[in-house]
Structure 1
């Protein structure tokens, strides 16, 4: 199996794990849906958990790059912070939306010292750092505080969208974020 086949396996496994969950997805299902034998999978990944980590690395890279690009398109840093919620609305509207893969990973592997849980936590930490940088560029006096609040709104919107009982969780979160951002920027100029 060439490197591109390995990448293909990781991409297909990402779709399956995202749809079915980590524990519910066995190697037999992965083999059946990817068309790649278990023997071949184990040539590239010693364990299912190694494959899950590769999947999480790919999802992390893809998601953060997509989100940051969508935010940067908004222009000014303040607008970028709000654009995060517009991007979330697009994601939530996708027919294949199944919540956050990293929330799922941390839930299915609850021990903080487990590599899968740790990788999920790292994804959230990296998002926080990106938001903190943008908040600082926007002029927030306490960029870390604003980033934490916006990340909480983001995560809450994801969970709410997953449950599907609210019409516009991203819009609701964006409205709350606008208030927090205005307050954080006003405090600086006072």
Structure 2
């Protein structure tokens, strides 16, 4: 994808901030460090973002877009509703195991922004609502019963997976997630 001169600095700034926020925590990274590592001026930051909070929201929206793209790409190869459910479970496990090895960016951000009315928490809630809805959709399409309870359980297992891959043995955590998620989704 070609970037215009106007969007390239924004994308570079956002990519740099995203990396730093994920690795060192949002509150652990100051604007000056982001500007220094991105090699952009303060004016560039404020040309594209109203402030650090807006940059944090953009970071979470970027994460959301990347996860949705991976989700849609993975499910695009499913040959049946049951297969789509299996692929979703494997995709969730793969994401935690390979891409989000330091935990879930949304859980981490929520721990730093406890106010449920903040724009940051609204971005987190939007992502989580999408994820829950996708799980419910897959369960319905696969003909499962009690889809709300199963979707809530799968989402909770995903949260545990994201934390477990960071804190514990990722191989054991991945296997445990897949085994339990398959059981919840009636994929025995």
TM-score, with length taken from structure 2: 0.88
- Asked whether 1:104 is paired with 2:125, we answer no
Match of 2:35 in 1: 31
* Shift in Å, 1:97: 2.2
Of the three residues 142, 150, 161, the one matched with 1:138 is 142
Secondary structure of the structure 2 residue equivalent to 1:161: helix
Match of 2:23 in 1: 19
Match of 2:160 in 1: 156
Alignment length, in residue pairs? 184
Ranges in structure 2 where 5+ consecutive residues have no aligned partner: none
Secondary structure of the structure 2 residue equivalent to 1:179: helix
Match of 1:6 in 2: 10
1:75 and 1:152, CA in 2 relative to 1: closer, same or farther beyond 3 A?
farther
* Shift in Å, 1:6: 1.2
Q: Where in structure 1 do 4 or more consecutive aligned residues deviate above 4 Å? A: none
Are the counterparts in 2 of residues 22 and 108 from structure 1 also a CA contact under 8 Å? yes
User: Aligned partners of 1:145, 1:96: CA distance in 2, in Å?
Assistant: 26
Are the counterparts in 2 of residues 106 and 120 from structure 1 also a CA contact under 8 Å? yes
TM-score, with length taken from structure 1: 0.87
Of the three residues 43, 47, 59, the one matched with 1:43 is 47
